[in-house]
């Protein structure tokens, strides 16, 4: 699938780009770099590293002004991994270093709501789960690499943002988190008490779940700190909610998780791949108890369903990926009907790259 993503030229910015390109490049680069870091790197034939560099080159020029960076969604921070790789390969590259610094500064310049919650994008006072995937990893990696004396502050900042979303978006009925919240509670969809939007969207929760497991890994050396334990407890709580929410028939997850089996709802492929990745990774790293068979059984069943249902094998040997919903925005009615009527995309990297991540964890468990 990774080779197929490359054969389609995905993860490189076209000349005319929209702000959704940042996360697309970021998730492709993350998937390719994870393959390179794994035992499976011995089996790759294409030059993933050069491909990641090419993706970075296609976008780096747009990142150099920190205040302008804040006009893009928090997803921009997902480009940090590829930049960091370039930087470690060539310490003298000033362009790469300025992009990294501008991204880091842009976190401090990001507009905040009344609780100091980072806006996800241009919408005043709205915070989404989605942004945490890019934010938590980048902030943590940047600090570890360039600024290790302020690790505590960075950790506190990250946990504050994660907790704020938890406090506002927690759904009592599923134990999972709604897509986002409006701190000013004026959006048409805002819950009058919490500001939360009404749908637990599988992909938004998928980004947040991956943010937690990746943060736990990056900060794993601190594994006895109370901060680490706190994030770990949250990760386990979501994992338990995800296990409960799995569709008993397919084993995978609904687009609108808090309306299972409702008319129009369907099994969505990107969020499902993200959950499989998080569950397998949690087991491999010991964050989920391996004596508890529910985690592995759930991941195994869902993984088999994903490969049988959404992977399309072509005669030329490439693989396509089906069943990924396009962008679902809170700049909408954000109703159940909205979420289940957004178009499905073929070969969306939000799904295919997440499937690469899930597959990598699956293969490592098998070996």
Ligand X SMILES: *[C@@H]1O[C@H](CO)[C@@H](O)[C@H](O)[C@H]1NC(C)=O
Binding site for ligand X (CB under 6 A): 7, 53, 56-57, 60, 65, 67-68, 86, 90, 93, 95-96, 113-114, 122, 124-125, 152, 170, 172, 184, 186, 193-194, 196, 225-227, 312, 314, 316, 318, 322-323, 331, 344
Angle, alpha carbons 315-316-317 (nearest 5°)? 90
Residue 366 backbone phi and psi in degrees, to 5:
-70, -40
Rounded to the nearest whole angstrom, what is the least distance from the CB of residue 221 to ligand X in the complex?
A: 13
Alpha carbon 83 to its chain centroid, in Å, reads 18
Q: Positive or negative CA dihedral for 255, 257, 260, 262?
A: negative
- Residue placing its CB nearer to ligand X in the complex, 67 or 147: 67
The size of the chain, in residues, is 367
Contacts of 32 (CB under 8 A, 6+ apart): 2, 5, 6, 11, 48, 51, 52, 356
H or E element in which residue 254 lies = none
- Residue placing its CB nearer to ligand X in the complex, 265 or 280: 265
Distances (CA, A) of 50 to 6, 36, 158, 252: 11, 12, 31, 34
- Residue placing its CB nearer to ligand X in the complex, 70 or 280: 70
Decide: 209 and 278 in contact? Cβ < 8 Å: yes
- Residue placing its CB nearer to ligand X in the complex, 9 or 39: 9
Q: How far apart are CA 254 and CA 42, in angstroms?
A: 36
């Amino acid at each position: 699938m990774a080779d197929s993503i490359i054969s389609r030229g995905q993860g490189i910015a076209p000349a005319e780009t929209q702000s959704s390109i940042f996360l697309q490049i970021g998730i492709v680069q993350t998937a390719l770099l994870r393959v390179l870091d794994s035992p499976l790197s011995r089996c790759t034939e294409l030059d993933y590293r050069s491909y990641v560099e090419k993706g970075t080159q296609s976008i780096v020029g747009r990142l150099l002004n920190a205040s302008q960076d804040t006009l893009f969604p928090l997803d921009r921070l997902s480009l940090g991994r590829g930049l960091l790789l370039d930087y470690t390969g060539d310490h003298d590259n000033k362009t790469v270093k300025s992009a990294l610094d501008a991204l880091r500064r842009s976190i401090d310049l990001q507009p905040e709501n009344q609780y100091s919650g980072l806006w996800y994008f241009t919408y005043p006072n709205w915070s989404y789960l989605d942004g945490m995937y890019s934010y938590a990893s980048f902030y943590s990696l940047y600090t570890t690499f360039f600024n290790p004396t302020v690790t505590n502050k960075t950790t506190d900042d990250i946990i504050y943002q994660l907790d704020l979303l938890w406090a506002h978006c927690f759904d009592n009925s599923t134990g999972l988190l709604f897509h986002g919240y409006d701190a000013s509670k004026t959006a048409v969809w805002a819950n009058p008490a919490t500001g939360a939007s009404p749908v637990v969207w599988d992909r938004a929760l998928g980004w947040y779940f991956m943010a937690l497991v990746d943060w736990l890994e990056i900060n794993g050396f601190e594994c006895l700190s109370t901060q680490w334990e706190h994030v770990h407890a949250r990760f386990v709580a979501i994992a338990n909610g995800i296990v409960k929410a799995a569709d008993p028939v397919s084993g995978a997850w609904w687009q609108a998780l808090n309306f299972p089996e409702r008319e129009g709802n369907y099994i969505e492929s990107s969020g499902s791949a993200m959950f499989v990745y998080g569950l397998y990774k949690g087991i491999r790293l010991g964050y989920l108890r391996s004596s508890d068979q529910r985690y592995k059984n759930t991941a195994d069943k869902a993984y088999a369903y994903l490969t049988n249902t959404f992977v399309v094998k072509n005669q030329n040997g490439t693989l396509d990926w089906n069943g990924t919903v396009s962008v679902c925005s809170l700049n909408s009615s954000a109703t159940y009907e909205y979420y289940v009527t957004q178009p499905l995309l073929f070969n969306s990297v939000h799904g295919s790259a997440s499937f690469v991540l899930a597959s990598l964890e699956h293969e490592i468990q098998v070996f």
